[in-house]
Chains A and B, each alone.
Chain A
């Protein structure tokens, strides 16, 4: 454990730690562009210069390993002048087109200019070297070569993480720029990360392009609902519209990356949403108030149990719902409706693509959670058989689709059931056939936990209250159960999770505090 002194503070760090990493642990920020915690060290931006005693010249903090007794200063006038000089050099050929740049507001150049620059430009605009703007280089990325500061983060990402090496430096001196090889556009499933790691506006997202200024956005910690991997993300939204997902660092799950299809998952929270409870009676559809819709659904379920027995009622849970909601759905089926018919299917109509990195074939965020909560997959096929046999008289469906069945098959199946209630977020074959549609909140509008493919239970937080008249799944389930005489007192996801931790063995001993931001492996491991 070498001990060194940074700006007069004595710091103990593990062997092999660099000055920049060590500074971060004690809360001292050293400016940098090319350093990235999950990429190799290039040391070419020269922003992280620090003064090291007994070294004649300034050293780069990102590639200087701490040694015993080292004395480092990052706050001297000499360092400041050097950093200011480096920044001015980078801005010489920068077009300063911040008004039309999507990076404005979260741009490294803007942040460090306000901290270390604040200089007047000594370079006439006409003398700047101009490079090609607005280049569609494939994937989700637009390249603006002029704005680039040549930090090489993108090049290293494509070499080290995806291994596809589509980007490279071309030309020399102040004409050097990054570009793809002619006719070889970006061809991998992780291009969106380039926009995240680019410290300036050279690589920006095609999907987010011109949609919203970043300073209007607010963020919430979330989990990507796109597949079983459960990448940690930050959902950015303005009012009740989600604009983008950005990866959040979790070295055990997704490091700092996420896949391109996952980045588009936010659209489900905006488009084709079910926003108001709808009841279908005597052939007509009617928008209802929550109280009336819940009472209607509860009454029809009760009526069916009374008339045909509990075995004529079935509950189809969805692996797109949180652990808390699945637990309550199971509890509703087992303890309130007393039906043995409760199952779920991990099959979904998604493309089923997978790779050996982040993308999993299972396109549900919480299949493992449903399994750990003892909801059975075999029961699903059993329930489908019973529907075909006309044994199911009332059905409570969670989610927007029935397994991977096409629309006609879903419609045909559901038409055999006299009463179908749906708890779901989006329009689809199920909502078209349901007799009571109970709209639930999207993943940004409620809190809870998902269990990923490896059994890691991870929290996601509510960003904003449910859109329109939608409600959180827990609230809907408690409303239904209490109308059936359950007397549940759950309020909020935390109280449900406490109940899960008490009664479900794989979740024993867990709490929202112990999960923290990064989650915990279910079953007592890790």
Chain B
């Protein structure tokens, strides 16, 4: 079988005026100036946002930073059952359970740390939670920090979010 041959069109030879690129430069400048003038007089449709003062709205099912829920009386809803820590594929949740002073609660988390450097935001912890105590609906991702320690979120930080 003969090899198929395809003729490729050679680029057209540019004319003398085109090789100066003068017209194209002016057209590009025109686009830039057009945006400048438009942004100075009308500010609705600016493509960039002023992060971090302005934040983009994430889709409703976006899995963002975790938060721990509270009961109506303000105590954490978490009962330290370790289901999230068991489900976590990144092993980023550290829980230490303790005896609650309230016998109706019985078990509560003394420590509940999430290592955000390890978390892969899979959402398995939320699925595993039998008490709806952990959610990932803050709509935001891990902010940068200067030290690693600041990215290990403790129970107090998670309850504040």
Task: Tell me if A215 is interfacial: C-beta within 8 Å of chain B.
Answer: yes
A98 to B79, CA, bound (A): 11
Q: How would residues 202 to 246 of chain A score, 1 for a CB under 8 Å from any chain B CB and 0 otherwise?
A: 000000011101011000000000000000000000000000000
CB contacts (< 8 Å) of A104 on chain B: these are: 81
The DSSP consensus for interface residues of chain A is loop
Pair B103/A210 contact, Cβ less than 8 Å = no
Tell me the minimal C-beta distance from B117 to chain A in angstroms.
21
Most chain-B Cβ atoms within 10 A of its Cβ — which of A98, A209, A211, A213?
A213
Task: Tell me if A161 is interfacial: C-beta within 8 Å of chain B.
Answer: no
A137 to B79, CA, bound (A): 23
CB contacts (< 8 Å) of A99 on chain B: these are: 79, 81, 83, 107, 130-131
List 10 other contacts, CB 8 Å, given A133-B103, A134-B106: A99-B79, A99-B81, A99-B131, A209-B99, A210-B99, A211-B97, A213-B81, A213-B82, A215-B86, A216-B86
| B residues neighboring A (CB under 8 Å) | 79-83, 86, 97-99, 103, 106-107, 130-131
Most chain-A Cβ atoms within 10 A of its Cβ — which of B79, B80, B107?
B107
Pair A210/B81 contact, Cβ less than 8 Å = no
Task: Tell me if A124 is interfacial: C-beta within 8 Å of chain B.
Answer: no
Task: Tell me if A491 is interfacial: C-beta within 8 Å of chain B.
Answer: no
CB contacts (< 8 Å) of B106 on chain A: these are: 97, 100, 133-134
Pair B131/A210 contact, Cβ less than 8 Å = no
CB contacts (< 8 Å) of A216 on chain B: these are: 82, 86
A211 to B99, CA, bound (A): 10
Pair B97/A210 contact, Cβ less than 8 Å = yes
CB contacts (< 8 Å) of A100 on chain B: these are: 79-81, 106-107
Pair A134/B103 contact, Cβ less than 8 Å = yes
A215 to B85, CA, bound (A): 12
A210 to B79, CA, bound (A): 11
CB contacts (< 8 Å) of B81 on chain A: these are: 98-100, 104, 213
25 A-B residue pairs with CB within 8 Å = A97-B106, A98-B81, A98-B130, A99-B79, A99-B81, A99-B107, A99-B130, A100-B79, A100-B80, A100-B106, A100-B107, A133-B103, A133-B106, A134-B103, A209-B99, A210-B80, A210-B97, A210-B98, A210-B99, A211-B97, A213-B81, A213-B82, A213-B86, A216-B82, A216-B86
CB contacts (< 8 Å) of B86 on chain A: these are: 213, 215-216
Q: Which residue of B lies closest to A210 (CB)?
A: B97
A158 to B97, CA, bound (A): 31
Q: Give me the 6 closest cross-chain CB pairs, A-B, nearest first.
A: A99-B81, A100-B107, A210-B97, A213-B82, A100-B79, A99-B130
Most chain-B Cβ atoms within 10 A of its Cβ — which of A104, A210, A215, A216?
A210
Tell me the minimal C-beta distance from B41 to chain A in angstroms.
60
CB contacts (< 8 Å) of B83 on chain A: these are: 99
Tell me the minimal C-beta distance from A238 to chain B in angstroms.
12
CB contacts (< 8 Å) of B131 on chain A: these are: 99
A100 to B107, CA, bound (A): 6
CB contacts (< 8 Å) of A209 on chain B: these are: 99
Tell me the minimal C-beta distance from B96 to chain A in angstroms.
9
A138 to B130, CA, bound (A): 31
CB contacts (< 8 Å) of B107 on chain A: these are: 99-100, 210
CB contacts (< 8 Å) of A134 on chain B: these are: 103, 106
A211 to B80, CA, bound (A): 11
A217 to B103, CA, bound (A): 27
Q: How would residues 89 to 105 of chain A score, 1 for a CB under 8 Å from any chain B CB and 0 otherwise?
A: 00000000111100010
Most chain-A Cβ atoms within 10 A of its Cβ — which of B79, B83, B106?
B106
A213 to B107, CA, bound (A): 13
Q: Which residue of A lies closest to B107 (CB)?
A: A100
CB contacts (< 8 Å) of B99 on chain A: these are: 209-210
CB contacts (< 8 Å) of B98 on chain A: these are: 210
Q: Which residue of B lies closest to A213 (CB)?
A: B82
CB contacts (< 8 Å) of B79 on chain A: these are: 99-100
Query: A57-105: which residues lie under 8 A (CB-CB) from chain B?
Result: 97-100, 104
Q: Which residue of A lies closest to B95 (CB)?
A: A213
Tell me the minimal C-beta distance from A144 to chain B in angstroms.
9
Most chain-B Cβ atoms within 10 A of its Cβ — which of A98, A99, A215, A216?
A99
Tell me the minimal C-beta distance from B88 to chain A in angstroms.
12
A213 to B82, CA, bound (A): 7
CB contacts (< 8 Å) of A97 on chain B: these are: 106
Tell me the minimal C-beta distance from A83 to chain B in angstroms.
26
Q: Which residue of B lies closest to A135 (CB)?
A: B103
CB contacts (< 8 Å) of A210 on chain B: these are: 80, 97-99, 107
Most chain-A Cβ atoms within 10 A of its Cβ — which of B81, B98, B131?
B81
CB contacts (< 8 Å) of A215 on chain B: these are: 86
CB contacts (< 8 Å) of A213 on chain B: these are: 81-82, 86
Tell me the minimal C-beta distance from B93 to chain A in angstroms.
12
Q: Which residue of B lies closest to A104 (CB)?
A: B81
Tell me the minimal C-beta distance from A129 to chain B in angstroms.
17
Q: How would residues 307 to 318 of chain A score, 1 for a CB under 8 Å from any chain B CB and 0 otherwise?
A: 000000000000
